Amino acid sequence: MSDGRTPAQIEADIARRRQDLAATLDEIGVRVHPKTIKDNAKASVREVVDRTAGRAYVAVNRAVSDLRSGLVTEDGAPRMERIVPVAVATVAATVAAVVLVSRRSSRCKRR
């Protein structure tokens, strides 16, 4: 069962393995420490938020670009044939909302 090592070599091997084991246990202790777990969770949440915010920014930027390309020509001139109907619809919706609110408020005052 002898592998040809001297007792000093065996003792040195045991000491090295103890050091390796101590380093491994220290690393495990750091990994499972509540502060480390909390910091890792924060980092994960931060990554998800950053990724989501980035995707939202890209989506909004794309929507604005699409809307702008529909209302403005490539040289920056407004497309009146598209702007006028949108403006008319906006004004009509605003007037309708004002009329509805004023009718409701006048009904409430009569009661």
**Total residue length of the chain:** 111
Alpha carbon distances (Å) from 77 to 64, 73, 81, 105: 16, 5, 12, 43
pLDDT tens per residue, range 9-47: 999 999 999 999 999 999 999 999 999 999 999 999 999
Residues 6+ apart with CB under 8 A from 82: 70, 71
pLDDT band at 69 (very low <50, low <70, confident <90, very high): confident
- Overall pTM surpassing 0.85 (yes/no): no
Q: Degrees (nearest 5) of the Cα angle 37, 41, 42?
A: 120
d(CA 92, CA 100): 12
pLDDT tens per residue, range 78-94: 889 988 998 999 999 99
